[in-house]
Chains A and B, each alone.
Chain A
């Protein structure tokens, strides 16, 4: 527009200048086109004026045409500029969209990569063991393990009690997994001790947490301490009360947790296992089956009453028929009740076998609050037996109980399923793990009617009592070092030939444990 206005102003200026120029031209007789026309203007008055007017008109017309051309040119230039601007804007917008699209696609690619990663099997290694799991978690396989290297030192044993020894108490790889989401399996051989055994081998179907079916070989659901995992027991050996409950057995059990874990139950049918025996079997010795079950309640587990959340109590029991006729490994009887030092202080005499009903009942309870842990149980094992060679029958009722306590000096929470140190062992950082003091008292009373027809009163005690105290050091969740002392004394079993029961048993235990 400015160019256009300038041009018009210039032309207007030319119009104003023309008359003067005509006068000058007249005066100077200048030559040129204008000069040739002007004489007509100056030659005669009217015609000259007319010619001048025509000329002015022609000039005006020419100016108008020129003005229109200029305007057209200016307009075209404006249009061109506008078009260029619009094109540039569109190009910028397009580029902006392209950038945004690329950015969004990158976001989606990243989301897709995350989703793809989620779809891949997961491999993990940590304090809880080593495992790999399908992306949908329906299939998994985990490797866990327990290794316990112990020492036992017997004091004042006059060379008649147990040997001072190092021993590989447990060496168990634990293979555990899940198939098709709801089917778990566990396989646990033991290479510790002197006999290689399969300790656990079972399949568990989880219909719901409240309803599960387990089949195979596993711990019979009766004793409280027996059911505690081997890596989490307080002492090297379980208490005398455990002598009266079954160990692993082969069978089926329905079990589950109710009310978010506030109650649990288990009930099953099994081959039937003798009172606790370290050596377990994989087959039955008769056609009679055992029923075992347990209910455990923690009524305030999910409440806000912190001091009572860890209180629980329950009842375990079993019932079976045993009809064995010889005193072999298949008598249906325990091979012997053992002390903390794993020495037999009571055994049935040769020719005695289970012959009739065998039932047990085991009320039990536990309490955990902060660093404090306490648990105990009382067990009655009532069994009909027969001295086969002498054709004698009896029903014996053996009883046992124990109470165990622990206190974590370093402030961690006590729990039945182990201790997690607040500050895992790392001397460079001044961290020393968790320290726990433990104590226990236990008693086992053999029915006096066992003597003399079914057990030798000279070599078997009718009662054993034991106390134990110790210190456990949890370096971290996987490594633990224990030291404890146990004192056991006996009633009876001091006659000719007595060894174990001849004097109290004093044992110092140590243990280095790896559990993962």
Chain B
């Protein structure tokens, strides 16, 4: 008797409790706010500030969900190391492919072929390296040769921590190779002389901009093209001039979903959409508006006027790809460590 009574009581209790429990689960599951963390490099602050707002609006209209994208900015190499060390980025938008390769290889957070997942090698916009000089260009800096003159002070960040700095370094090296008939020894000497004119190494591109623009140090800042335009936009055309050298490097900052983190956060779909939307008309327009060179013909044509013509060499052409360039020039004990004495 006791057993039968117990079973009936149990059934009643289950029915009385499980129904409201299920209802409550549905209630709790209704509200949805998605949070993404975009770990990026230094000079993209303004770009992603604009873009995040546009994407949130797009995603809300498409799905009804709210997306809040948090940004993290620093030197690209430092950011990659932070992700490797556990910073839970849903997406990374870094200065160069090597840094995302490092995340893939060292932390296994995304597949090795990540760069094939989006168009243009997962690089929705490009840029190059230009010279930002003081108004009137008092040191008459026109080309890379002018940077190695004894009386010229050059500002550029540390290639060990900054992606932009590595682009700067390689652009100078590529120029020297072009000038000296691909003689590595002369190129090395040229770059060594250039870095003799560098008194301060910031850890990131934005830090170097601060050094040059706000601390008024140096005659020329080696800068991302967008960063140079931004400095003029922010501080006035009466303060600086942009000098685009005849030859520079094609800088391709890539983007990628950090698969394992996004899966863990349940944000894989929205993270992928977030990066894909960079290739949309609106995404490309925002890139152009922020002085990046858009990939789409439409946006490229619209913003062509703001970019001076320049012969661009690629890392693959001049250095055999990022892996090789990194190993040769920026790894511990490699060329940069040998030529630069702080």
Residues of A within 8 A of B (CB): 97, 100-101, 103-105, 108, 111, 136-138, 181, 207-208, 210, 258-259, 262-263, 295, 297, 299, 302, 313-315, 359, 361, 363, 380, 382, 384, 394-397, 447, 449
Contacts and interface: CB of A to CB of B under 8 A. Distances in A.
A324 B86 CA distance: 49
Given A105-B200, A299-B28, A363-B13, A397 B6 contact: yes
B215 A297 contact: no
A447 B2 contact: yes
Interface in B214-258: 215-218
Given A137-B86, A363-B17, A395-B3, A108 B28 contact: no
A136 B28 contact: no
A97 B9 contact: no
Contacts of B215: 100, 103-104
Contacts of B216: 100
A97 B2 contact: no
Given A100-B216, A108-B200, A297 B25 contact: yes
Contacts of B17: 315, 363
A263 B24 CA distance: 9
B70 interface: no
B275 to A, nearest CB: 22
Contact of A299 (B5, B24, B85): B24
16 contacts: A97-B217, A103-B215, A105-B199, A108-B203, A207-B264, A259-B31, A297-B24, A302-B31, A361-B13, A361-B14, A363-B13, A394-B2, A395-B2, A397-B2, A397-B5, A449-B1
Contacts of A259: 28-29, 31
Nearest to A101: B199
B21 interface: yes
Given A101-B199, A136-B85, A397-B6, 16 more contacts: A104-B200, A105-B199, A105-B200, A108-B200, A136-B86, A259-B28, A259-B31, A262-B28, A263-B24, A263-B28, A297-B24, A299-B28, A314-B21, A315-B18, A315-B21, A394-B2
Contacts of B85: 136, 138
Contacts of B25: 263, 297
5 residue pairs, one from A and one from B, having the closest CB atoms: A395-B3, A397-B6, A101-B199, A297-B24, A262-B28
Interface in B1-46: 1-3, 5-6, 9-10, 13-14, 17-18, 20-21, 24-25, 27-29, 31
A380 B9 contact: yes
B153 interface: yes
Contacts of A137: 86
A297 B22 CA distance: 10
Contacts of A105: 199-200
B202 interface: yes
B60 interface: no
Given A100-B216, A104-B217, A181 B86 contact: yes
A354 to B, nearest CB: 15
Nearest to A395: B3
Contacts of A181: 86
Given A108-B200, A449-B2, A380 B13 contact: yes
B200 to A, nearest CB: 5
B209 to A, nearest CB: 12
A119 to B, nearest CB: 10
